[in-house]
Amino acid sequence: MENIVIKTEVPGPKSREIAQKREKYVASTLDSLAPFYIAKGEGAVIEDVDGNKFLDFTGGWGCLVVGYSPKTVVDAVKEQVENYIHTDFTATPYEPYAELAKMIVEKTPGNFEKQVIFLNSGAEAVENAVKIARGATRRKGVIVFDKAFHGRTLLTMTMTHRAMPYKYNFGTASDVYRLPSPNPHRNKYTPHDFERLLLDTAYPEDVAAVVIEPVQGEGGFNVPPQEFIEEIRRVTEKYGILFVADEVQSGYGRTGKFFAIENWGVAPDLITLGKSIAAGFPLSAVVGNKKYFDALPKGSIGSTFGGNPVACAAGIEVIKMIDEQKLLDRAIQLGKIIRKRFDEMQKKYPVIKEIRGIGAMCAIEFIKDREKWEPDPDTCGKVIQESLKNGLLLAGAGLHKNIIRLLVPLVITEEQLNEGLDVLDRAIETVTKA
């Protein structure tokens, strides 16, 4: 497949026709980045229904670490579909569930016995991690951090930081406490303030879990200092609180480690997974210390479609691909290219204040001027639109919508990556000169 090729105006005639159906029948609250409709995807390239080709650096909001429709996944899924599509593991169990659980456990840090439960969405994984923590500790409190994103169900929406649009008149769940995380530009808070802030905010004997994204996704790829994660581990152990790493976005390879939390050398009690783990099939998971699963009554957690056999068959192939194609090394290699290009852009464009992330999980932050930390969502939004016009899909991020984060499939070629980064570079130039 070629990379960017724009043959018609965008959206083209076929996309516009589909858009009419959408406008009439699809919930108007849904908002799409692309104005066109996809016909096919391969690796990091999308072809739309009018034959235009785009590079996709959003990977379906981070769900395509292994790219669009890799052959081994497609073959495994076809075979699985022909055998059986669904049973519900709690009605009639099947091997792909157990096999994928085994493969994930073998990758999970921590010198203790681990187990896995599969669910459907990232939010459902986070909800269940909280339920496991509450059930096992018989406590209610959940500690989360500023700029966090944990999902959009009632509990996870409460755990998510950003109010608009996520919390619009939707009410809240109880027993969720938000703490700041260290940010050298915005607060003087040091990692060692964590225990004091926790004690100021909640009665620790009532706290079930501290939930943290090792690298924040929607929050803009913020990377906490080593001592902060170590401090969370120390304090959670001290007070019998579970350390839950939400790896729905950072998990499986993007940072050059299988789990992002491995970059800190810390083993959480539970890890939540989602997005990329089944190449785009709706599958999520909680993996963690067996003793916490053992603390719950049988049947107390679960989900009809959680761990669907087709999704598990895809999930098995994803891990095989990561291993066989050495995608962790690839994430580091891609990250080096991205960093170098971002550094060059930062030198050219004063509007880029900061570059951050680990491995291929890299982001740039737009700020109105380099002395002040005033976010520049306007420039950021225009750069995303200008890039789109020129064939590149980019994901925005940040509490203030002033960050561009790269969620490229790790199977992207260097040529495609550089082509996309050229588009981004030119887009920043065009927007900042205008």
Ligand X SMILES: Cc1ncc(COP(=O)(O)O)c(C=O)c1O
Q: Which is nearer to ligand X, 229 or 431 (CB)?
A: 229
Q: Which is nearer to ligand X, 358 or 421 (CB)?
A: 358
Distances (CA, A) of 409 to 70, 209, 263: 11, 32, 20
Are the C-beta atoms of 103 and 313 separated by less than 8 Å?
Answer: no
Q: Contact between 217 and ligand X (CB under 6 A)?
A: yes
CB of 300 to ligand X, least distance (A): 21
CB of 160 to ligand X, least distance (A): 8
Q: Which is nearer to ligand X, 67 or 214 (CB)?
A: 214
Q: Which is nearer to ligand X, 108 or 272 (CB)?
A: 272
Distances (CA, A) of 250 to 38, 281, 296: 26, 17, 28
CB of 149 to ligand X, least distance (A): 5
CB of 274 to ligand X, least distance (A): 5
Binding string, 371-410, against ligand X, x = CB under 6 A? ----------------------------------------
Q: Which is nearer to ligand X, 120 or 379 (CB)?
A: 120
Report phi then psi at 142, rounded to 5: -130, 125
CB of 155 to ligand X, least distance (A): 11
Residues sharing a CB contact under 8 Å with residue 356, sequence separation 6 or more, in sequence order: 220, 221, 222, 223, 362, 363, 365
CB of 144 to ligand X, least distance (A): 11
* Interface residue with ligand X, options 47, 56, 218, 262 (CB under 6 A): 218
Three-class DSSP labels, 300-363: CCCCCCCCCHHHHHHHHHHHHHHHHCCHHHHHHHHHHHHHHHHHHHHHHCCCEEEEEEECCEEE
Binding string, 147-176, against ligand X, x = CB under 6 A? --xxx-------------------------
Nearest to 362 by CA among 431, 301, 309, 421: 421
CB of 126 to ligand X, least distance (A): 5
In whole angstroms, what is the distance from residue 142 CA to residue 161 CA? 13
Number of residues that bind ligand X (CB under 6 A): 14
Q: Contact between 123 and ligand X (CB under 6 A)?
A: yes
Q: Contact between 274 and ligand X (CB under 6 A)?
A: yes
E strands, 351-423, in order: 352-358, 361-366, 392-393, 395-397, 403-405
Starting at the edge strand that comes first in sequence, how are the strands of the sheet with 284-289 ordered?
Answer: 114-119, 284-289, 270-273, 242-246, 207-212, 141-145, 176-179
Q: Contact between 246 and ligand X (CB under 6 A)?
A: yes
* Interface residue with ligand X, options 12, 43, 59, 122 (CB under 6 A): 122
Q: Contact between 126 and ligand X (CB under 6 A)?
A: yes
Q: Which residues bind ligand X (CB under 6 A)?
A: 121-123, 126, 149-151, 213, 217-218, 246, 248-249, 274
